[in-house]
Amino acid sequence: MADKVELMGELRTDLGKGASRRLRREADLVPAIVYGAGKDPVSISIPHKDLHKACESESFYSQVINITAGGATDAAILKDLQRHPAKDRIVHADFYRVRMDQEITVEVPLHFLNEEECVGVRLHDGMVSHNMSSIEISCLPGDLPEYIELDVLDLDIGDHILMSQLVLPPGLTIPVLELGEEHDQVVVTINEQRRIEDEEEQEATDAADVEASAEVKSDDAEGESEEADD
């Protein structure tokens, strides 16, 4: 588990869109809100450089964060991050407080191991296809992993791994699996690579089919024209 991220903020009482714009433009601060855990929401501002740096770490999006503002520190997870549509700027952040004795549900990244060395790739020129890059898990905040590893070393062409086959650390569950087997999705598959020759042959076949279809339509049109002349 990664070390907790520490963010320092300031309480803000000047709220609204105009105030948020001034924070971003004049003080290079990001307006944010911290809510949840049975407490009142708190509006804060965080230095853009600090939040931007934190966002560079993959674990920031799935780890417990310590946020200090107004003399109080809250343990929270990132719930929403709004970015400028054209600039590398963060415009707003939402943080959800957590209680260490209550489970939380978080999207955690998947890390795939031994992709180049897996049987299907190494021996049969296969290709690893990621059907999922992250997975939603539930656990206590103290058990939250930075990521979940998935070893594909022994997979051959046509093999796959389902969500139910993931080896999870103790204390973790996958909520969607509780809804039934039909929700058990494929996480990764080893597929046979389509050869260039096969693609060219298929393209030629498709082109021939199109040409034949065009000829049939042309013949039909000529037949109709002759009937009309008669």
Question: Do 63 and 39 share a domain, yes or no?
Answer: yes
Tokens found for residue 168:
């999870």
Same domain, 46 and 29: yes
Token digits for 69? Answer: 């503002």
Q: Which two tokens stand for residue 130?
A: 């990621």
Instruction: Give the chain's domain count.
Output: 2
Which regions in the chain score pLDDT beneath 50? 1, 225-228, 230
On whether both 27 and 76 belong to a single domain, the answer is yes
Domain assignment of residue 46, given as a range: 5-97
Question: What confidence tens digit (pLDDT) does each residue in 19-33 have?
Answer: 777 777 778 889 999
Are 141 and 90 in a shared domain? no
Residue 221 structure tokens? 């049109």
Contacts of 104 (CB under 8 A, 6+ apart): 77, 98, 138, 139, 140, 141, 144
CA atoms within 13 A on the CB side of 193: 12
Q: pLDDT (tens digit, 9 = 90+) per residue, 96-136?
A: 999 999 999 999 999 999 999 999 999 999 999 999 999 99
Which pLDDT does position 118 carry in this prediction? 94
**CA atoms within 13 A of residue 38's CA, in its CB half-sphere:** 2
Residues 20 and 89 in one domain: yes
